[in-house]
Amino acid sequence: MYSKELSSKKRDEFEDILEERRLSSDLRYAMKCYTPVIYKGLSPCKPNAIKSAVLQSEQVQYVIKQLAKEMGESPDVIQEEATEILDEMGHRMQLGAVRFFAFTLSKIFKQLFQRVCVNEEGMQRLQHAIQEHPVVLLPSHRSYVDFLMLSYLLYTYDLALPVIAAGIDFLGMKIVGELLRRAGAFFMRRSFGGNRLYWAVFAEYVKTMLRSGYAPIEFFIEGTRSRTAKTLTPKFGLLSIVMEPFFKREVFDTYFVPISISYERILEESLYAHELLGVPKPKESTSGLLKARRILSDNFGTIHIYVGQPVSLRTLASGRINRCPYNLVPRHLPQKPSEDIQEFVSDVAYKMELLQIENMVLSPWVLVAAVLLQNFPAMEFELLIEKTLWLKGLTQTFGGFIEWPDNLCAKKAVLSDLTLHSNIARLVNGHVVLNDKGVEDGPVGEIIFRHALAVLMCATYRNQLLNIFVRPALVAVALQMTHSFRKEEVYSCFSFLRDVFSDEFIFFPGISLKDFEEGCFLLTKCDAIQTSQQEICPTDKGSGTVSFLSAMFRPFVEGYQLIFRYLSKEMKEAFTEKQFIPGVRNFVFQLLEKGSTQCYEALSSDMQKNALSALVQLGAVKKKKMSNGFTYNVNQEAVSKILDMFDARILVWKPVAARL
């Protein structure tokens, strides 16, 4: 299933949809004749009809009867419960609400964004897909704007509006929650693994809409907004639900449409950075949203939305799912997916995320941020431009999708980006400095916090490059760590790093060698290395590239080491995640205070969680489910061993070796 075109592929052109909005009446736009094409097999029905179909379905009725028997309750009581769940969950899509959003969002988007660019060919492909088979929209998730924007876009292009799986927390926002419901949002509880009734009702609700082709179904495969702008590892629950009707052949096929939404400047950037540093996220509330109004006066640049090629589930599954696991059991019985199927779902999830990553538009600022972070805290403006241009070439070699605004010269583009992101960096006396807002003379702790904030915000943009760079970069890191040219050794180190970072970056499962080869190929392509049968040699010309790449990923290597060290030294007893995060944060904070590390990114709770979960996967930490959540137990010896793998090699990074 994993295949990647390594030569730069041709991508569609973009169109700015706000341009039209700036020229004509928003009111007329909101009241326009809206007659979307629909799925060929669809007999239109009301949202309430879906709910009652779900309630009456064999699937839900079966679980109700089972539960009634087990709990000695009357089925009516449980049926009542199911009705309540449905009422809490169900959308009530109404054209009126949609028009309201069309109007207000036009106003808001024009205020916030300079341009909203869309690949029109993608929209056309989507239009065909919607008519042919049930469609699942899989956008990347960086902001609340994502799903509003996507529905807005589909309305603009006269396409069927999706029903959207949203977190239940939105219902906390009084009016907004209900408005979203009317715009097609349905709400899922954050965790309902143990609740069989909830699971049955939810799954059947989604499947009923999918089977009938009622509307495209939209959800975020990452599960939540990525606070780091780095793609999160996929969640499988909803994906396996929407695949089931095909596995059971209740539909002929299902289309998955990966959609990449990239922001030149992310609305929530500062909020995210605070959150990552442990300043609690404000609960979703209507008043909170109103307070966010001051954001309206700010400029958030351009949004790029790339609607990918619809991917046929039937094609993905052909040759993969040979045996028919659902043939021997009635289809309405809840059935745990076989290992085959679970593996397939996971592969599809990763494939979709890789497709999202491939089509994610990168702005020049992303390059600037990556350069700046390596030249902390200030660098010469001219040098920045030179480096940025160099990085642009490298990014394109690696298959990155860069949109350079209006063919501006590099200097102008960087300047315009510095204006847009003046809260992160600014130009002072021909030097670009990180904007940590003049707290030079506060308490040390305050200075470090401010600094960390600026670094994490900047990292949010560099992060957008990482999944494009990770394969060649880990080869570069491995080259430096092993201090060897032997392919075998470099590969074994690469493979180790890939495992350690499996939750940090997106790797297609089980193809370590292919990833390694791809990394080597890309490094060869940019003349950074030469390879022979047994050896990999950095070229003289390429040492700069190799150093740059390993420096790019150094925060992760160092950060993980700090976190592992904390775990191996400080955590002797079982602990919960709630104990772990503040603990490791303090640990890193103290090291930063002492000046014994410069790795501010290790303060990020995202990295901390990923590192912990990596250890769980490597078997160095045991994760146990308790009544009140998960607890963790560290196997000191195993963690030390992993640390040794790093430490033995960290020496190699000292400047002497770096000159290699």
Partner 1 sequence: MVHDVNLAGSSNCCTRALEGSGSAVQELLKWNGWGYNDSKFIFNKKGQAEFTGKRYRLGGMVLPTFKEWIEKTFGASLEHKTTSRASLNVNDVPPSIVNEEFLQDLRATKISYSQDAEDRVFRAHGHCLHEIFVLREGMFKRIPDIVVWPVCHEDVVKIVELACKHNLCIIPFGGGTSVSSALECPEEEKRTIISLDTSQMNRILWIDEKNLTACVEAGIVGQDLEKQLAESGFCTGHEPDSMEFSSLGGWVATRASGMKKNIYGNIEDLVIHVKMVTPRGIVEKNCQVPRMSTGPDIHHFIMGSEGILGVVTEVTIKIRPVPEYQKYGSVVFPNFERGVACLREVAKILRALFALIRLFLSFAKGHALKPQVASIFTSFLDGLKKFYITKFKGFDPNILCVATLLFEGDREKVLQHEKQVYDIATKFGGLAAGEDNGQRGYMLTFVIAYLRDLGLDYYVIGESFETSVPWDRVLDLCRNVKERIVRECKEKGVQFAPLSTCRVTQTYDAGACVYFYFAFNYRGISDPIHVYEQIERAAREEILANGGSLSHHHGVGKLRKRWMKESISDVGLGMLRSVKEYVDPNNIFGNKNLL
Q: Which residues make up the interface to partner 1 (CB under 8 A)?
A: 249-250, 252, 322-324, 326-327, 330-331
* CB neighbour list of residue 213: distance below 8 Å, 6 or more residues apart: 38, 39, 40, 41, 42, 133, 134
Least Cβ distance, residue 330 to partner 1 (angstroms):
7
Q: Which is nearer to partner 1, 312 or 561 (CB)?
A: 312
Structure tokens at 20: 């039209």
- Three-state DSSP at 64 gives helix
Is the sign of the CA dihedral 596, 599, 603, 609 positive or negative?
Answer: negative
Packing angle of the helix pair 95-112, 174-182 (nearest 10 deg): 110
Cβ distance to partner 1 smaller for residue 212 or 608: 212
The CB-of-315 to partner 1 minimum distance in angstroms stands at 11
The distance of closest approach from Cβ of residue 254 to partner 1 in the complex, given in angstroms and rounded to an integer, is: 13
CB-nearer residue toward partner 1: 246 or 560: 246
Using CA atoms, how far apart are residues 473 and 459, in angstroms rounded to an integer? 17
Closest C-alpha among 521, 387, 525 to residue 462: 387
C-alpha 243 chain-centroid distance = 21
Closer of 40 and 69 to partner 1 (Cβ): 40
List helix spans (H) across 277-380: 286-291, 313-317, 339-358, 364-374
Give me the least distance between CB of 252 and partner 1, in Å please: 5
Pairing, β 621-626 against β 629-634: antiparallel
d(CA 406, CA 579): 49
Contact 314, 249 (CB under 8 A): no
How many distinct helices (H) and strands (E) make up the chain?
Answer: 26, 19
- Smallest gap from Cβ 35 to partner 1, in A, equals 18
For partner 1, the closer CB: 219 or 326: 326
User: Closest separation between CB of residue 324 and partner 1, Å?
Assistant: 6
Residue whose CB is less far from partner 1, 49 or 409: 49
Q: Rounded to the nearest whole angstrom, what is the least distance from the CB of residue 41 to partner 1 in the complex?
A: 9
The contacts of residue 49 (CB under 8 Å, 6+ apart) are: none
- Calpha distance 133→445 (Å, rounded): 57
Closest to partner 1 by CB, 212 vs 356, is 212
* Cβ at position 403, least distance to partner 1 in Å: 36
633-639: long-range contacts, CB 8 A cutoff, minimum separation 24: 633/574, 634/567, 634/568, 634/571, 634/572, 636/568, 636/572, 639/564, 639/567, 639/568, 639/615
Question: At closest approach, how far in Å is the CB of 323 from partner 1?
Answer: 8
From 159, 135, 125, select the one nearest 36 (Cα to Cα). Answer: 159
- Distance, CA of 366 to CA of 77 (rounded, Å): 55
Q: Which is nearer to partner 1, 273 or 341 (CB)?
A: 341
- Distance of closest approach, residue 350 Cβ to partner 1, in angstroms: 24
With respect to partner 1, which residue has the nearer C-beta, 56 or 322?
322
What are all long-range contacts of 592-599, with beta carbons under 8 Å and residues at least 24 apart? 592/448, 592/452, 593/444, 593/445, 593/448, 597/558, 597/562, 598/376, 599/555, 599/558, 599/559, 599/562
SS3 116: strand
Q: Which is nearer to partner 1, 104 or 309 (CB)?
A: 309
Give min distance, CB of 66 to partner 1, in A: 19
Q: Which is nearer to partner 1, 317 or 551 (CB)?
A: 317
